[in-house]
Structure 1
Amino acid sequence: MTVAVVYTRISKDRVGAGLGVERQREDCQKLADQLGWTVARVFSDNDISAYSGKPRPEYRAMLDALDHGEAQAVIAWHTDRLHRSPSELEEFITLCERRSITVRTVQAGELDLSTPPAR
């Protein structure tokens, strides 16, 4: 059985209710259920832009968990929830290749990070 982590993020939570990340989490859990995967942890950065350069503590925690072998897959709502900066993307691809991590998104399906279109 594949063990996955879910990552959710929303740039602006205008009302502070976390509804955007909760909807993403629900959609990601549905995808995990369809795939027969177990979600070990959910990492969520609410009200943090990927462009801002602000630290995303849950994103970093997710990378650490993956690097320590806590999961074999990542599920996100869309690729732009995971990363927008080239340096973060490069680090993510390197980790996924080294640890043979599968990446799936609700919106785009499976991402083959070994091909230019997925990068």
Structure 2
Amino acid sequence: MSTIPSVRPDDSETELDQASNDELDAAIYVRTSSSSQRFGYSIDEQIRRCWERCDSAGWTVKYVFSDEAESGRNTERPQFQQMLQRAEEKVIDVVVFWKLDRFCRSLTDLVNVEERLNEWGVALHSVTEHIDTTSPVGRFNFRNLASAAELESDLTSQRAKMGMYGLAQTHRWPNENPPLGL
């Protein structure tokens, strides 16, 4: 089991604690919810930012796992499952992702995945949030951020349903292909 350094991610250069100079093997995980994802969530941009973080931390990127147009509400995503398999095989030390909501959206899934990864000696690292799953305070922070990600997902779903209800009230269809039939 490898000791994972505490990392303080922010917009400046990431520094590893003096306690560990080990070179870690990293896996990058990226995801979009739709093929036309906007606002900096594109697959290529997520990979670029994660790779930069790995470079600045001195970590070797061994794998890039990419799920495009996949929901984060569950873990049944092809590349996510491949990433978990590599973690279980203990060929990676840390999973790097751009933002927690790109990794998972369900609090239950996040906690369960983090516990499994911890058993395999694999840490989680977010490029944009302070996540250090190697300490009790870090795990507490991780779970709070996970709760916020799940809340945002639930609110987005609620807004989408409300929008569709509004369209139905005006006898409109939400896309160009209304259903056929009675």
TM-score of the superposition, structure 2-length normalised? 0.58
Return the match for 2:140 from 87, 100, 116. 116
Residue type at the aligned position of 1:40:
K
Q: 1:27-58 CA deviation, whole Å, 9 max, x = no partner? A: 0000000000000000000011113x583100
User: How many corresponding residue pairs?
Assistant: 115
Mind listing any 5+ residue stretches in structure 2 that lack a counterpart? 1-22, 144-182
Deviates more, 1:39-48 or 1:103-112: 103-112
* Bigger radius of gyration: 2
Return the match for 1:92 from 113, 119, 135. 113
Equivalent in the alignment of 1:37: 59
Backbone CA RMSD of aligned residues: 1.9
CA distance in 2: counterparts of 1:73 and 1:63, whole angstroms: 11
Give identity over the alignment, percent.
Answer: 25
Equivalent in the alignment of 1:101: 122
Residue type at the aligned position of 2:44:
E
CA distance in 2: counterparts of 1:76 and 1:101, whole angstroms: 13
CA distance in 1: counterparts of 2:133 and 2:59, whole angstroms: 18
Runs of 4+ in 1 over 4 A off after TM superposition: none
Q: Is the 8 A contact 1:48 1:54 kept in 2?
A: no
2:78 is the counterpart of 1:28:
no
Secondary structure of 2:101's counterpart equals helix
CA distance in 2: counterparts of 1:32 and 1:54, whole angstroms: 24
CA distance in 2: counterparts of 1:66 and 1:3, whole angstroms: 11
CA distance in 2: counterparts of 1:34 and 1:42, whole angstroms: 17
CA distance in 2: counterparts of 1:42 and 1:110, whole angstroms: 20
Equivalent in the alignment of 2:15: none
Mind listing any 5+ residue stretches in structure 1 that lack a counterpart? none
TM-score of the superposition, structure 1-length normalised? 0.86
CA distance in 1: counterparts of 2:70 and 2:86, whole angstroms: 20
Call closer, same or farther: CA 1:91–1:31 in 2, change over 3 Å.
same
